[in-house]
Amino acid sequence: MQAGNLVNHPPRFSGNPDDFPIFDTKFRCFVLGLDLWGFFDGSEKLPEEVEPAEEWEARRAFAAAWLLQGLTAEALRLVSGLDDPKAIRDLLCQTYAPRTVHALLKLEAELFSRKLKPGESVPSVVEWFERKFYNFEYICETPFPEVFKVGLLYNSLRDNPQVNVAHALICSSSLDNLVWDSVANRILQQYK
């Protein structure tokens, strides 16, 4: 696929580790559309012929440039000196979203201890959970169970009497309808 005028900018990474899994997923889709993902997963190998090798080097540099364009100054400093797209992405993943037991346990502790803070809006809590669920699924490479998503949200709001409507919306859901998107959307509609 040609980049042409359809592709102007790669996704941008904010520098916040909580945002890295979403950035990485968007970036993967972006370079898949440009037929460059093989440079990031290591499947694109250097051809033996001279002319295709020159084209390959140019495409490899292009792939690295797309990734580097979306990074913050801090992330750029981290990967300075690297020119291999796979090495750059691997270092970013290890730094900002490690798939380790420690990262998973830290994330689980955050999920289970989250409470609505004084003056905080219910929609901001819902958005926080959505980001954290995505990060969990990124680390584990498996879906987070829907009923647990709703349960964690309920637990975070439970001790706050000012969000009785959210409690009622969750508790009035049938077990068949205890799905994150459905419950979260109903709560967001109520607290617009």
Burial 105-117 (b: 16+ CB within 10 A, else e): eebeeebeebebe
Of the pLDDT bands very low, low, confident and very high (cuts 50, 70, 90), residue 115 is very high
Examine the domain organization and report whether 112 and 55 are in the same domain.
Answer: no
Residue 75 lies in a domain: yes
Examine the domain organization and report whether 34 and 73 are in the same domain.
Answer: yes
Q: Residue 180 half-sphere exposure, CB side, CA atoms within 13 Å?
A: 18
Examine the domain organization and report whether 73 and 117 are in the same domain.
Answer: no
Point out the domain boundary residue: 96, 123, 154: 96
105-124 mean pLDDT: 92
pLDDT, position 80: 94
Q: At CA 33, angle to CA 28 and CA 38, rounded to 5?
A: 60
Domain that holds residue 76: 17-96
pLDDT, position 1: 43
Examine the domain organization and report whether 77 and 120 are in the same domain.
Answer: no
Q: Are 13 and 75 in contact (CB under 8 A)?
A: yes
Q: Output 69 or 192, whichever has higher pLDDT.
A: 69
Of the candidates 86, 107, 103, the one whose C-alpha atom is nearest the C-alpha of residue 43 is: 86
Residue 153 lies in a domain: yes
Point out the domain boundary residue: 71, 96, 121: 96
Of the pLDDT bands very low, low, confident and very high (cuts 50, 70, 90), residue 7 is low
Average pLDDT over the chain, rounded to an integer: 88
**Domain count along the chain:** 2
Instruction: Evaluate if pTM is beyond 0.85.
Output: no
Residue 12 lies in a domain: no
